A and B are shown apart, each in its own frame.
Chain A
Amino acid sequence: MMAEMTAIERVNKHINLEQPDRVGIAPMGEFYYSRLAGMTVADVLMDPWKADEAFEYGFKKHGGFDMAEVGFLLAMYLNPIPDMFSTYYLEWHLPGREFPPDTEPNLNERSRDNPLMTEKDYDLILKEGFHRFFSFRRAGVSDLALVGKMVPQTAAIMRKWWEQYQVPTMIDASMSEPVGWLSRLRGTTNFLLDVRRHPDKMLEVLDITCDGLIAAALSLAEMVQAKTLILGCLGSADLWSPKMFEKFQLPFILRAANAAVAAGYRLQYHFDTNWTPMLEYLKELPPKSGYLHLDERTDIIKAKKVLGDHLCLFGNLKPSLFTFGTEEEVEREVKRIIDGCAAGGGLIISAELTVDSRFELVDKMIQTTKTYGVY
């Protein structure tokens, strides 16, 4: 038997669509790890060292797995640059600030009648450019100073995982595409109406916003010395038709992905909700450029058929399974995905764990992959 591979080698093989020693396993835990380690969400949210301590505790308790979650706090919540999830631009309620210390951060998209961005703001973007519209209106000086401290800390923790532990990091920084980003500011319903009512104008706004977001993402990625960027996309069949996707979103996702790849980054394509009717389009993403995270709403077995020689697949286990499920159900689900998608490599099992996920169910996912997933 060949000597066991390091996690870096294994993940590289999967991304290159070659067959390694076994199927990959990389749960996305965020605050699951903090609770497991006896910390509150507030303890870890503003403190990369604490967050890493919690993650490492969970990583070891589960006997290790294939990716480390390091930069997600900066990438997802505390991103100082206009970004899909940045607390400085959107209406977030944070634990220890608006919320009790052990709750998850809460992104309020705002109601239809009270959006963060009005229709007039589109004109501002068109006339004066993307950056003109933004200011750090929600961030205090102390917040920005905190980001300055977190950036080098995050970079140091990343190096520890890659160099010392030989484990690749999962998300170091984020890249937003304009549809998701504008939907957050306008509210999804408003945004959909805007697109139907003023398609040409919206295409122009999307175009300008896309370039702005790419530039912003690349500068943050450079600051934290990122290797992997998360590129989230919500434009699936749960939102609009393949035709609308093709016109209003696909060109911008491709532009963002190609820019990231050209700058040397790997991508986590974070494609939530139902992509089953639209998988063919994803063949246009740069091949072997990262991994495609699909949640349980997409048929991953079909994705393997369509994209098996194009992109590594990732995810697909339902988060609520780990709060309400049984060990048998978890095992059955993991085996179903492995049976349908493991052939020839290009598969990393994962789930987005919630703070209330149960240890024994998470462990079942990890151990089943490690044993049943051997090639």
Chain B
Amino acid sequence: MSNMQLLTDYMVNLEEKAALDEVKRLLASGEKARDILDALTKGMNVIGEKYAAGEYFLAELVMGAEIFKEAMDLLEPAMLAQGAPERKVCGKMVIGTVQGDLHDIGKNIFVALARNAGFAVTDLGIDVPPAKFVEQVQKDGADILGMSGIMTMSLDPMAKTVKLLQETGLRDKVKVIIGGLPVDERWRQLVGADAASDDAYKGLKIIQAFMGVK
């Protein structure tokens, strides 16, 4: 088994210490940071697939995301030094839980799946006001705006955000997807979003379709 395959396996099996030690060892032995990152990303993809198949759960997604983040901290200096090209991204997304709503467990699942699948995600966290969403979309030049809302009263701030996008002339430049427990086709229409889903994995398929990823 190649070293890279070993790293991918540690990632998939969520062996934090082994994975990070392996990253350090590979770096020290002169492997390219870019290749190490690819091996980790491969592992993250498998984690996402296992989640969709019901083998992995939130606990595993969270652990996977944590290991990936720690590994990136080790890789970034090397990537800068090696002048490695940016990680290939299939789309830029800004996301957050809307104003007044503090639930983030479901949103975090969607974010983890999107990151695994190669999206560059700016996660604004919880209780995000409409102006903040719009500002970030503009700043990032985002392709997609994701909004999460788990409570009935979250409809209003979603609609306000879309309205603000229109007023700022950004609506045509960004696809809007909303998600959360009460979200359905009726919400999509009321909010004026492009897509709606109460399932993170279906949401991923939708944003992949937005970006023309099969």
Residues of A within 8 A of B (CB): 106-109, 111, 188-189, 192-193, 195-197, 237-241, 244, 277, 297, 318-320, 323-324, 354, 356
Contacts and interface: CB of A to CB of B under 8 A. Distances in A.
A277 B108 contact: no
Interface stretch (B53-61, B72-80, B158-166, B169-177): B53-61
A318 B181 CA distance: 9
A196 B186 contact: no
B208 to A, nearest CB: 23
Q: Which of A196, A297, A318 has the most CB of B within 10 A?
A: A196
Nearest to A324: B186
Contacts of B126: 111
B59 A192 contact: yes
Given A196-B16, A240-B57, A318-B182, 8 more contacts: A111-B125, A196-B14, A241-B59, A244-B57, A297-B181, A320-B181, A324-B187, A354-B153
A323 B152 CA distance: 7
Nearest to A319: B152
Contacts of B57: 237-241, 244
Nearest to B187: A324
Nearest to B56: A241
B37 to A, nearest CB: 22
B152 A354 contact: yes
Interface in B130-147: none
Contacts, number: 60
B102 A238 contact: no
B102 A106 contact: yes
Contacts of B152: 319-320, 323-324, 354, 356
B62 interface: yes
Contacts of A192: 58-59, 62-63
A188 B105 contact: yes
Nearest to B150: A320
22 contacts: A188-B105, A192-B59, A196-B14, A196-B63, A237-B57, A238-B58, A239-B57, A239-B59, A240-B57, A240-B59, A241-B56, A244-B57, A277-B54, A297-B181, A318-B181, A319-B152, A319-B182, A320-B152, A320-B181, A324-B155, A324-B182, A354-B151
